[in-house]
């Protein structure tokens, strides 16, 4: 009975996910020529990747990061500089951005892992602030203004030289972002269900007990940092090719770190798909309700506060927990409990 | 469990170990052996250093002086997970389950290998091992079944239950199942009887004896002298981080120095 219910549930969730995915695949057909909306969905996918990457490190492994813009920015700048100055295709420079972000994570995380809890979070926050200033000081951007990389017109030829887009066709960019997001989601769902994911969760729940169970906590934490950094770096890299420019304000702002956290918390930490829902919710409200000005962001944060107060686990995590109770309440003696779920 | 390479039947040698915390000398030149296959009781008044000894063996603390050898390999200063994988498992004084994972997953966590790319056990082997361990310590008894029936594909029928649903005694059993999953040759039990009723103490003792028959050496720390003395083969008494006495339970019960330490301790 228990397993039967669990299997039914698996089918229902699979159906819901497939319907949502079907809708997302049809977006360019449903809103032909609506560049603004298609762009908004591209941003939603980028933020989904960022939020999932945060969820792996913070939701699953318990290493709360306040500075995911660190990875996002390293990926963004790496890809922007390589593609603009070496002329490489974004299809190569985006993964390289991820690799650089991953290495950046390794560099910062390895010494920081002896710290736990709020101290580790502070290290991530300060790292993000540090790289922001570094980029500004180095004046990496060819225009020299505060490290921004913008389009330059070559005076001799009159050619406008920008960070290249992934594709000139906005629909192709859309499918690239959606495809990447879906592949990463599938990868992460397999990862967290594997024994590696189990080790991550053991470390989150009780690091000392995990060590007592024979788990090399440091090794698994570094792995979590590197995978999370890689994915956030990919998100940042896609972002610069979408915007065709990079600047500290665009890809290194602390707001980005906060937005990743808000999206994950809204959807439910430790669920992978919850942060995707949270990111879509956040970006769609932020972009589609622009006529309401700053009020829309205020509204998002009020909703976030209400969710934190009443559904602290996040929306998807709460649904999952209730369904778990429903699966268990198989005894016909308790019809109310079954009916409620 | 192999006799090869073990001198004098000692599985663990604690050799002149000292550990201080600031000005407090918690362990002071302490030496004792644990013999292969025995249950050794470690007793002493509060603050004598019993849990510190466990933390030194498992690598949570590193000794200031002295050496710890396990099966003739020096393990002094090893990281906790390395000690566990060498064959020493522990349970905690206060049970520390992974609260957000189900009971079966709690046990499965202890089966995870550290080589990230190695396959380790197959999924089937893992779930079989988990079910056997859960059944062995009867962790799921509370859910109305005797032990843990294998209802389908080796799943345990408490696979959807979380540790928060378990009463205290079952949490202690879960700790033991987690420790056993690491396949230890030496098991360190920190107050396994704490908070248990008389009949639960008997059940726990029976479980520990069964494990002894399977060849698992054990060190047990406990304040429950009656339960402990009936269970153990030998006793080491610790006071102020030093060895006060060592011998069979009968010898220890008659030892005037031990009576002194305990009586003076309890009269305060």
pLDDT digits (tens, 9 = 90+) for A228-287: 999 999 999 999 999 988 888 889 999 999 999 999 988 888 889 999 999 999 999 888
Are B81 and A214 inside 8 Å of each other by CB?
A: yes
DSSP A314: -
**Out of A20-29, B139-148, B242-251, which region has the weakest mean confidence (pLDDT)?**
B139-148
Residues A19 and A17: their CA atoms lie apart, in Å, by 6
Give pLDDT tens digits for B162-178: 888 888 888 999 999 99
Instruction: Determine what percent of chain A is predicted with pLDDT higher than 90.
Output: 55
Cβ-contact A94, A238 below 8 angstroms: yes
CA atoms within 13 A on the CB side of A219: 16
Are A212 and B85 inside 8 Å of each other by CB?
A: no
Q: Is B154 a residue whose pLDDT tops 60? A: no
Count the Cβ atoms, other than its own, within 10 Å of residue A124: 25
Considering only the beta carbons, identify the residue of B80, B89, B112 that sits closest to A198: B112
Residues A273 and A20: their CA atoms lie apart, in Å, by 12
Are A208 and B80 inside 8 Å of each other by CB?
A: yes
ipTM of the complex: 0.85
Q: B interface mutation test: which of A213, A218, A219, A271 has the most B CBs within 10 A?
A: A213
Cβ-contact A222, A63 below 8 angstroms: no
Of residues A49 and A328, more confidently modeled: A49
Closest-CA residue of A relative to B122 is A195
pLDDT at A336: 41
Contacts of A213 in chain B (CB under 8 A): 84, 109-110, 112, 178, 181-182
Instruction: Determine what percent of chain B is predicted with pLDDT higher than 70.
Output: 86
Residues B242 and A102: their CA atoms lie apart, in Å, by 49
Cite the DSSP H helix spans in chain A: 2-30, 35-54, 69-85, 90-112, 118-138, 170-193, 195-205, 207-212, 217-243, 248-251, 254-267, 273-288, 295-310, 315-328, 335-340
Cβ-contact A102, A230 below 8 angstroms: yes
Q: Which residues contact A246 (CB under 8 A, 6 or more apart)?
A: A76, A77, A80, A141, A148, A149, A163, A240
| Chains A, B: CB pairs < 8 Å | 88
Q: How far is B97 from chain A (nearest CA, A)?
A: 8
Q: What is the mean pLDDT of chain A?
A: 87
Nearest of B215, B218, B212 to residue B187 by alpha carbon: B218
Residues A9 and A2: their CA atoms lie apart, in Å, by 11
Are A205 and B90 inside 8 Å of each other by CB?
A: no
Query: pTM of the predicted model, to two decimals?
Result: 0.88
pLDDT at B151: 46
Residue B94 CB-density burial (10 A; 0-12 exposed, 13-18 middle, 19+ buried): exposed
Q: What is the mean pLDDT of chain B?
A: 84
Contacts of A208 in chain B (CB under 8 A): 60, 80, 96
């Amino acid at each position: 009975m228990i397993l039967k219910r669990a299997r039914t549930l698996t089918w229902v969730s699979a159906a819901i996910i497939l319907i949502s995915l079907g809708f997302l695949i049809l977006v360019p057909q449903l809103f032909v020529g609506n560049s603004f909306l298609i762009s908004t969905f591209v941003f939603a996918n980028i933020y989904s990747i960022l939020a999932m990457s945060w969820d792996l490190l913070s939701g699953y492994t318990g290493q709360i990061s306040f500075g995911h813009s660190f990875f996002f920015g390293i990926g963004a700048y790496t890809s922007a500089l390589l593609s603009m100055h070496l002329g490489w295709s974004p299809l190569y420079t985006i993964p390289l951005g991820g690799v650089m972000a991953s290495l950046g994570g390794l560099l910062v995380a390895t010494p920081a892992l002896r710290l736990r809890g709020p101290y580790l979070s502070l290290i991530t926050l300060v790292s993000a602030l540090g790289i922001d200033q570094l980029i500004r000081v180095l004046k990496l951007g060819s225009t020299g203004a505060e490290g921004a990389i913008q389009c330059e017109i070559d005076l001799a030829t009159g050619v406008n030289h920008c960070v290249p887009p992934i594709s000139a066709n906005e629909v192709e960019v859309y499918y690239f972002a959606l495809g990447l997001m879906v592949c990463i989601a599938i990868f992460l769902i397999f990862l967290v269900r594997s024994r590696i994911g189990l080790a991550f969760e053991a470390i989150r729940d009780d690091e000392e007990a995990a060590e007592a169970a024979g788990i090399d906590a440091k090794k698994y934490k570094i792995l979590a940092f590197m995978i999370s950094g890689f994915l956030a770096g990919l998100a940042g890299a896609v972002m610069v090719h979408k915007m065709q420019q990079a600047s500290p304000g665009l890809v290194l702002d602390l707001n980005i770190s906060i937005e990743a956290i808000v999206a994950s918390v809204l959807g439910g930490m430790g669920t992978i798909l919850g942060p995707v829902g949270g990111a879509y919710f956040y970006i769609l409200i932020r972009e589609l309700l622009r006529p309401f000005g700053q009020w829309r962001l205020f509204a998002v944060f009020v909703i976030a506060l209400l969710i934190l107060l009443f559904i602290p686990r996040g929306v998807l995590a709460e649904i999952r927990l209730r369904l778990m109770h429903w699966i268990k309440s198989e005894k016909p003696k308790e019809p109310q409990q079954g009916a409620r779920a | 469990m192999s006799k090869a390479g073990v001198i004098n039947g000692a599985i663990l040698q604690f050799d002149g170990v000292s550990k201080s915390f600031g000005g407090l000398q918690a362990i002071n030149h302490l030496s004792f052996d644990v013999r292969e296959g025995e249950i050794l009781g470690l007793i002493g008044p509060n603050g004598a250093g019993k849990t510190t000894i466990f933390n030194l063996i498992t690598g949570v603390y590193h000794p200031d002086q002295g050496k710890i050898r396990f099966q003739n390999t020096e393990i002094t200063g090893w990281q906790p997970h390395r000690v566990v994988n060498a064959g020493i498992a522990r349970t905690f004084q206060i049970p520390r389950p992974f609260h957000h994972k189900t009971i079966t997953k709690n046990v499965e966590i202890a089966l995870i290998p550290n080589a990230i790319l190695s396959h380790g056990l197959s999924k089937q082997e893992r779930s079989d091992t988990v079910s056997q361990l859960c059944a062995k310590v009867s962790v799921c008894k509370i859910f109305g079944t005797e032990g843990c029936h294998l209802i389908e594909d080796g799943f345990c029928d408490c696979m959807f239950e979380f540790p928060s649903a378990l009463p205290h005694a079952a949490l202690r059993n879960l700790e033991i199942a987690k420790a056993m999953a690491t396949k230890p040759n030496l098991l360190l039990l920190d107050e396994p009887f704490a908070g248990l009723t008389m009949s639960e103490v008997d059940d726990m003792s029976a479980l520990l004896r069964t494990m002894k028959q399977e060849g698992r050496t054990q060190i047990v720390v406990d304040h429950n002298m009656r339960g402990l003395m009936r269970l153990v083969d030998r006793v080491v008494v610790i006071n102020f981080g030093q060895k006060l006495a060592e011998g069979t339970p009968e010898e220890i019960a008659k030892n005037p120095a031990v009576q002194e330490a305990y009586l003076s301790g309890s009269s305060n």
